[in-house]
Each structure stands twice: as structure tokens, then as C-alpha cells.
Amino acid sequence: MVKQERAARTREVLVRAAAEVFVEEGFATASIGAISKRAGVSAGGLHFHFGSKTALAEAVVDRAAASVRVITVSRLAGGNALQVLVDSTHDLMALLAHDPVVSAGFGLCVATGTGDAEAVGPCGVRRQWQRWVEAMFRTAARNGELADGVSAQDAAAAVVAAIVGFEALGADEGAWLAEPSLARYWALMLPRIAADGSLGELRADGSDAMCVAGAARSGAPDQ
């Protein structure tokens, strides 16, 4: 049992080291040697746990997908669908800024093999996120939360594009991932997409974003 725990711990250390190296050097140029060195695990140890760099990428994508799932599931208890969406984007930005596994996994467009990540697929975390945003806008439309004449599909596309843009720009310039940038984005968007009746209740800076992002980072949903 102690042996199993140690193995699980070594796998986590390797996945995190791989994520850090992917973020710094890119997946294509990241070497197994650099990951092994970063993790403080011998090359043999790395190969025992992960047969290839692609297997490590799959593990990174799986972990990132799980973290994004924690955000989205933990937010579903909230009331207004648009506020849930705003809050979850704040959570995502906090993860992208502070968790190298999410940062590496979110945009990783690698065709993976037979692991769990197969279900996620290339660019899988980004697509998972996209589907969630689309679903939340459909819910908002059903609940009458959208302004007259605003289509859920068009609003979802605009928000998905912007969030992917924040992520891409943030990789080069961290201020894009900071809370005020996203809060100003939502302060601009909400008056256009939210129904007049609900606009006053919506918080562009998130209802309690940082708190749940912390919970998401430690893997525990806040419900």
C-alpha cells in the first residue's frame, strides 16, 4: 500500500514536471531528459511510469480536464447561468495563471493514444470548455437571462473566442490572465448579452471566483 502511494506520488511529480516543461519549451521540443531532471526521477523511473512523451501528455490532458470539470461542476449549484459562466471563467483564468498542468493541458492539441485522454482527444480540454460555455448559454437562453435578440450560439462563440484569446495572449503577457482584465471584459459584455432584468444582479468580477479557484486547484469541489 505504501508502495502504491509512493508510485502514485511519483506519477504526480512526473506529470507536474512534464506540464512545466511543456509550458516553458512547448510540447514538441520538450525532452524526456528535461522532464526526468525536473522531476528528480531517473530516466528508468520515468519510463516505468510513462512509456513515452505522448503518454505524459495524455496524463497532463487528463489532469487538466479533471480540473476544468471541477470548476464547471462546482459552479452548477449557482443560480443565474450567466453568473455561473462569469465565475467559471474567473476560475479558469486563475488556474491558467497558477496551475502549470491546466496551463499546459488547456491548449495541448496532441493526438493521443489509448489512454483515458482518447476520450478527450487533441485540443480536448479547450473543446470540453467550449461545450460547457455553449451549454451554459443555452441554459441562460431557456431561463430568459439573455437580452432580446441575442442568440445563445453567437454569444457562446464570442465568449469562447475571447477566453481562448486571453489564454493565448496570457502565455506571453501575464496581465491578460489577471482578474481585472477579465472583469473589464465581462463589464463590457454583460450589458449586451444579459436581459435588462438580471443585469443589476450580475457581478463582472465574479461572485466569489478566487475562493472556488482555490478549491479547484486542490481538487475539491466547493459543494
26 interacts with its own copies by CB under 8 A: yes
Question: End-to-end distance of the chain based on CA atoms, in angstroms?
Answer: 30
Q: Minimum Å distance from CB 27 to its own copies?
A: 8
With b meaning 16 or more CB within 10 Å and e meaning fewer, what string describes 38-65? bbebeeebbeebbeebbbbbbbbbbbbb
Instruction: State which of residues 111, 187, 210, 220 lies at the interface with its own copies (CB under 8 A).
Output: 187
189 interacts with its own copies by CB under 8 A: yes
Q: Minimum Å distance from CB 178 to its own copies?
A: 12
| Interface segment toward its own copies; rule CB under 8 A; list 41-49, 67-75, 167-175, 214-222 | 167-175
Give the CA radius of gyration of the chain.
19
Cβ-proximal residues to 80 (8 Å cutoff; 6+ apart), any chain: 140, 143, 145, 198, 201, 202
Cβ-proximal residues to 50 (8 Å cutoff; 6+ apart), any chain: 11, 14, 56, 59
Give me the DSSP letters along 31-94: -HHHHHHHHT--HHHHHHH-SSHHHHHHHHHHHHHHHHHHHHHHHTTSSSHHHHHHHHHHHHHH
Residues across the chain:
223
174 interacts with its own copies by CB under 8 A: no
Q: Minimum Å distance from CB 105 to its own copies?
A: 15
Q: Minimum Å distance from CB 213 to its own copies?
A: 20
Q: 90 or 126, CB closer to its own copies?
A: 126
| Interface segment toward its own copies; rule CB under 8 A; list 5-13, 58-66, 82-90, 191-199 | 191-199
Q: 41 or 156, CB closer to its own copies?
A: 156
| Interface segment toward its own copies; rule CB under 8 A; list 10-18, 58-66, 121-129, 209-217 | 121-129
Q: Minimum Å distance from CB 129 to its own copies?
A: 11
Residues at the contact surface with its own copies, assessed by CB under 8 A: 26, 28-29, 107, 109, 122-123, 126, 150-151, 154-155, 157-158, 160-166, 168-169, 172, 176, 181, 184-185, 187-189, 191-193
